[in-house]
Structure 1
Amino acid sequence: MIKSRGTFRPVKSEVLNEHKMHSEYFTVSSETAKTINDARAERRRIVAVGTTTVRTLESIATRHGELVGDSGQTDIFIFPPYRFRIIDSLVTNFHLPKSTLLMLVAAFAGRELIFSAYKQAISMKYRFFSFGDACFIM
């Protein structure tokens, strides 16, 4: 999947629902959807690698009520409070302040945990942004 530059645009609106989210193209095959659904049925962990993956899976589940093979555009903006339907864990970079990506991560892990982790990352000089260090959130 190709990440749009809009991913990195800071949120400037005081009301989050007024922020115009960029869209990203996605494709999930029926085979992939079945593999994920089978794993969920077996209570195995679903680990999303990257925020685009999260947005894709959550968009499909929102659109269809379940995970199915699908392709198209997503402009879903995930921020607290949000109830995740598909993923259990997330591998992602350390994101920049006021970004939609940081809000997605905070919606997943909780604001307090994320800010505590980011404080530690800053003190230990972790690299932020696209080619920086990553974290595994369970």
Structure 2
Amino acid sequence: AWVRRTLAQKRRIMGFGHRVYKTGDPRAKILKHYCRQLADSHDDGNELESIADTIEQIVNEEKGLLPNIDWPTARLYHYLGLDEELAPPLFVAGRITGWCAHVIEQANNNRLIHPRSRYSGPERREFIPLAQRGLTDQI
């Protein structure tokens, strides 16, 4: 019921769809295999995999979206007993070398790679040195 209601409200279900892998993320297929293996030795594993299969089927039927790598990764973290708070640093750890390579490419080519997004945070603020803020005695 939650999946269909969420889709009817035009809200996204995280872990589905990919900009590049339109016919399915091959990494997700590989990780799904490991989810099945770990599920067998976990108390709620088989039930969780059954629920995941149902959600995959509904999202595919109604939106034509297939799982991306985040979908099985969340379950793997659960089976491995990792805290939810570790998801962002593990995500970053897997991408940091690529990000560094982009920075090196930009520096070598003397050309910025422009992001596809636009900053929407607070307006630019003037920098005030610590000495002028009266905070130097606290350092």
When normalised by structure 1's length, the TM-score is 0.26
Q: Which has the larger radius of gyration?
A: 2
Bigger helix fraction: 2
Higher RCO, 1 vs 2 (CA within 8 Å, ≥6 residues apart) = 1
Bigger strand fraction: 1
